Every structure is written in structure tokens, then in C-alpha cells.
Amino acid sequence: MESAHHGPFRAPDVFDDARKRQVVARLRKEYGEARGLVSRAQPYAHLEWILGLHRDLARDDAAFETGVSELVVLWLQDLAGELDSGVTPQDTTGSEEGPVPPSSSRQAVAERLRNATREFAVAFLSPS
């Protein structure tokens, strides 16, 4: 039998680089969906430089620094809270995103974002 940190019997809370990249890809997907549902005036532009279209494509998604990871988690928790609060984009008529989804859809997006954020926190902020 192999140790808890090596081979097929590795503990489930141990995240290797490939798994971390999967976690970030899921988080990026959920962030993109959530970002389209909130006001453009809100302060989430900083996440665009980390998870969004302005991110450094050469940066390894398995190598987030602790400080950046902590900020990402806090900002995403705020974003999920905004989705829950029902704050909608100011002008949705004729927007690229289309009509504002019902509250239940926004809450479902918020819950998926929270789940992806928790998984990110475990992968990048839990002691290994």
C-alpha cells in the first residue's frame, strides 16, 4: 500500500498542479457567467486581470500566490453576495448579455460560484 501522499491512494485534499488547473478553469467559467450578471459599475474589474480576459495567459494557473488567492476568494464572495442581493445591471435592454435572468437563476449562479470558490480556496489556501 502506498503512502497517503503518493500514488493512487493520495488523500483527496491533496491537489497536484493538474488538479489546481482544473479548479481554476472551473472557477474562471463560473466567474465569467457571474460577471455578466452584475453591474459594470461594480469593482470587479480587478478580477478581469486575474481570471478574466485581461489575465496573463503565460501565467501558470497552478501557481497562484497566497496573497492573490486570498483576494480572489474575498472578491468572489462579494460577487456572489451581489448576485444574491438582486442588484442587476443598470441597462439590460439591448445589451450583449440579453435580458436579466430571474432571481432564482442568479441565485443558482451565485451558488455555483461559491462552490467553485470554496474548491479554489481548498486547493490554494489549505496547508499541504
Going by C-alpha positions, the residue among 76, 70, 80 that lies closest to residue 110 is 80
Rounded to two decimals, what is the model's pTM? 0.75
Q: How far apart are CA 28 and CA 34, in angstroms?
A: 10
* Chain mean position to CA 115: 9
Q: Is-contact 106 37, C-beta < 8 A?
A: yes
Spans of all domains in the chain: 15-88+97-125
pLDDT in tens, 71-127: 999 999 999 999 988 755 554 443 444 555 566 799 999 999 999 999 999 999 987
Q: Which three cell numbers stand for residue 12?
A: 483527496
pLDDT in tens, 46-75: 898 899 888 889 999 999 999 999 999 999
